[in-house]
Structure 1
Amino acid sequence: MTMTLKSTPDRYGMVAITIHWVSAALILILLITGFRAAGAEDAAGKAAWLRIHLPVAVLVLMLTLFRIVWWLAIDRKPDLIAGSPPSQERVARAVHLVLYIVVLGMFSSGVGMTLASGAAPIIFGAEGSALPDFWRYPPRVPHGLGARLLVSLLIFHVAAALFHHYVRNDRLLRRIWYAD
């Protein structure tokens, strides 16, 4: 079977698969660096984690926006898995939609926190300058809650994919991987 750039009725295309797995890896990096920065005791450690976190967040935003355009204007998703109850399909669509909303909300709250605090020049340049107390800025609360919600959604997403693949044996993971 030859992989195409666009999706077919029974599997995702090369572009969708690549966006999915690159986004997954980058989101894991964001979660790790974000939680590490939040838990860092010293300003230098926090700034080092944030120097990774902020550019990766921009990449995730760009990939997410590209993915939305890809699905709305260029490609169509494969057909639903045969035999899946309609309720599971509704939950799957809802989880995917909430994932998009949370990713976009996380970016917005992160930008809001960075701009409100004036932290970007300190993170990317002024060595020795003190980082602000991010908790003093209103976007910090939704950013932290969003991170925890994102972790929960990702666990649910992965568990559902593994359930489909290994318990229902419906080859779901093969639809979103490069080889059959």
Structure 2
Amino acid sequence: MQPSKTPYDRWTIVLHWLTAGLVLALWLIGTFLEDLVPKGAVRSAVWSVHFDLGFLFAGVIVALLARRRTGGRRLPVADPGPLHRLAKATHAMLYVLLFAIVGLGIANAFVRGVDLLGSLGLPQVGDREWRKPLTHWHGLAANALMVVALFHATAALIHHYVWHDAVLVRILPGRRTASGGDGR
């Protein structure tokens, strides 16, 4: 069955790619900052950006979930068989990991008592001894998310370049429907 070439609605596309961009940026900062930037003001500033983007990311995830539950265009299933079940399981795992990362990141921010946006200070709540385990679990969840996201992206590329169907095209920005509309 050839999937519809009708794109997802504009907000679903925006939230999808904003999520992907934030995941990548936050993972890169969290994974490589300690090794690339010496201790000091620059490293502290970049960690502050990581926390700021993390809270933005939390808002985007809530908006994405709300959009999936309350609005957005529902597109026909590309393959109702085992591949559809695998796609559903992959999306479920992505959401579980996204929420785990956000929850662990927020908990870590409060245990640390970080500053957001340069001036809004979160109170330090809880035992500071939790910083290391929270950071560890947050990092493990982020790495697991990157593995699942890579699988997700690879599947989209296989759809596009091997099977030549419209699965990837439906989520790309700037696509128009056959009638010339913008998919709102």
TM-score (norm 2): 0.77
Q: Is the 8 A contact 1:31 1:147 kept in 2?
A: yes
Distance of aligned partners of 1:121 and 1:72 in 2 relative to their CA distance in 1, 3 Å threshold: closer
d(CA) in 2 for partners of 1:146, 1:121: 23
1:165 to 2:136 alignment = no
TM-score when normalising by structure 1: 0.79
| CA distance in 2 between partners of 1:42 and 1:76 (Å) | 47
Match of 1:97 in 2: 92
Residues 26, 54 of structure 2: 8 Å contact kept: yes
CA contact (8 A) 1:117 1:137 kept: no
Give the corresponding residue for 2:51: 54
Q: How much has 1:41 moved relative to structure 2?
A: 4.2
The amino acid across from 1:19 in the alignment is L
Q: Are the equivalent residues in 1 in contact too, given 2:51–2:109 (CA < 8 A)? A: no
Residue type of the partner of 1:140?
Answer: T
Which of 21, 28, 32 is the aligned partner of 1:25? 21
Judged with a 3 Å threshold, the aligned counterparts in structure 2 of structure 1 residues 155 and 22 are, in CA distance, closer, same or farther, namely same
| Pair 1:86-2:81 in alignment | yes
Alignment of 1:2-17 (within 5 A): 10-17=6-13
> Structure 1's 166 and 159: CA in aligned 2 closer, same or farther, altered over 3 A?
same
2:155 partner letter: A
**Structure 1: distance between partners of 2:171 and 2:62:** 19
Greater alpha carbon shift after TM alignment, 68-77 vs 50-59 = 68-77
- The aligned residue for residue 156 of structure 1 is 151
State the Cα deviation string for residues 12-66 of structure 1 (Å, max 9, x = none).
1111111111211121111111113343441434312212211111111111111
Aligned length: 163
Give the superposed CA RMSD: 2.6
The structure carrying a bigger helix percent of its residues is 1
Q: CA deviation at 1:98?
A: 1.3
SS in 2 for 1:168: coil
Is the CA contact (8 Å cut-off) linking 1:117 and 1:134 kept in structure 2?
Answer: no
Cα distance in 1, alignment partners of residues 106 and 29 from structure 2 = 16
